[in-house]
Structure 1
Amino acid sequence: MLLPPATPTLEAANSKIHTRPDNIFASQELAGLLIRCRTAPELCPPGTDHYLVVTELQVNVPHVVPNTFWNFRKTDWPSFRKSLAIQLVEDVPYPDGDIPSTNVFNNLLTQLLQALHDTINEAVPETRPPPFAKRWFSKESDDMHREVSQLGRAAFNLRDIPCHPVHKEYRTLHNRY
């Protein structure tokens, strides 16, 4: 148990007697990381009887460097095309006639991709994802999320009419989402 003995966690509504019906249990590993565990009756909103339990643990959270990605929307495309043309002329030989073998094709492809990659590094600005963005949503799933939410509200508003077609439509779309 993480809470110290005899720490009250509840104030009875009528009698105002302090009791301890809530216990905080943890594994040995987690208990070893405990800094402090206490109740905070001063933080409880009005009308509640259970006290908040504030638990502080010493946990090392690794710092994650956000991934940067290329912002093709802010690219100066005339400059990009000019830079790519220069890279292609300088670094990628133009084949005379047919490409004779797979090895020659693979070498040309590697040189072409390297020229493209170098041009992107040079001409396309980098950006970081905004911290408030829901990066797990694609545009399609974001649109579907909005549609499911709207149907859910409509189904809730029509909950007294169980045979209404909006319920079936909501279930179908929710399951697909």
Structure 2
Amino acid sequence: MPLPKGVATLKAKGTGNETRPDNVFCSRDFLDHFISCNAYPTRVPGTTDHYPIISEIDLVMPVKEVEEQWNWRGADWPEWEEELSGELEALGEVDGYASLEEVMEALGKLDAVVWKCVRKHVPIAKISPHSKRWWKVEFTERDRLATKSYRQRDVPESPVHEEYR
């Protein structure tokens, strides 16, 4: 328990005896987060007989690193396909493979060519753990228009209303 053993949490009004009817419970995993937990007889509010129990808990959230991922939506796919076609033509055509080693070598070359094109034409996005991954740039523009239209709600002939529709 976070509250140390033997700490009184109540002073009986009639007898003046100090007892411990109040406890502080937590799981074993959470126990490590307690900095301090104690009863304070000097801070008794009003006419109550229970001592306030003040717990100091370390609740710092761990900082998550910003992830880097491929932004597949932002890729320039026509240029990517054009470059990939050129790179594949440079590899040349093969009628067949005589052994597993030849297949693996060809597969390695194909993989290298595809990733070369990906690195060149697909941007890298830095994903924050708090970002709205479904949000697009078009939504931001639409949101700005909605805000402008709302601010001009008292002016029905404002051109922003027509633009927003």
TM-score, length-normalised on structure 2? 0.47
Which of 1 and 2 has greater Rg?
2
TM-score, length-normalised on structure 1? 0.44
